[in-house]
Amino acid sequence: MTGPLTSNTTIPLLARLAQFNEKRHEAITSNIAGIQTPGYKSRDLPVAAFQQALTQAARKLTTPQSPFPGSFPPNFLPIELPVSPVSPGTSVESIDALFPDELFASETIPESELSLQDGGKRSIEHEIMEMRKTLLLQSFALQLINTQYGMLQTVISERLA
């Protein structure tokens, strides 16, 4: 998915996030298209499972780093300390193993309390809200990827100069 130049950045995680949001957008648009179909069952991707996999991958890629090594005991500051990339031993392939194909496959979602005349439980308002959240998260991930590639390009051009 990404090369060795980006393996110690968050680009692989952001790429997975963008991929997940693209698949989720497809599921939501299918839900909107089938909203008037009697008996249609809404589908979605396993958002909670993906968030858990993303958290595990982020922890695998990063370790806490104190701004003042040796100066403060652990948990002294009431804020989270910045994170930095781990050793080269953490590969993109090991991160990809945390994202099985099941996370990118849509599944029938539990029905809500609101029931339609045909017994279906679909809500256009809910689908539009989920679509907006997905599009915002997708835009955010792509902007971060673009920014990180821009920083890499700056570093490379400075070394060549």
Residue 143 lies in a domain: yes
Q: How far apart are CA 18 and CA 25, in angstroms?
A: 10
Whether 23 shows a pLDDT value over 90: the answer reads yes
Residue 40 lies in a domain: yes
pLDDT at res. 59: 83
Whether 1 shows a pLDDT value over 50: the answer reads no
pLDDT in tens, 50-62: 999 998 888 887 6
pLDDT in tens, 84-135: 444 444 555 677 788 888 888 888 876 655 555 555 567 888 899 999 999 9
Residue 114 lies in a domain: no
Q: CB atoms < 10 A from the CB of 93, how many?
A: 10
- Mean pLDDT over each residue of the chain, to the nearest integer: 76
Residues 13 and 95 sit within 8 Å (Cβ to Cβ): yes
Residues 15 and 91 sit within 8 Å (Cβ to Cβ): no
Using alpha carbons, list the distances in angstroms from residue 5 to 8, 9, 11, 55, 73: 7, 8, 10, 22, 34
Q: CB atoms < 10 A from the CB of 119, how many?
A: 9
pLDDT at res. 118: 55
Residue 115 lies in a domain: no
Domain that holds residue 30: 4-109+120-160
Q: How many structural domains is the chain composed of? A: 1
User: Residue 68 carries which DSSP code?
Assistant: S
Residue 137 lies in a domain: yes
Percent of the chain with pLDDT over 70: 67
Residue 79 lies in a domain: yes
pLDDT at res. 119: 55
Residue 145 lies in a domain: yes
Residue 20 lies in a domain: yes
pLDDT in tens, 67-78: 444 444 444 434
pTM (global) more than 0.85:
no
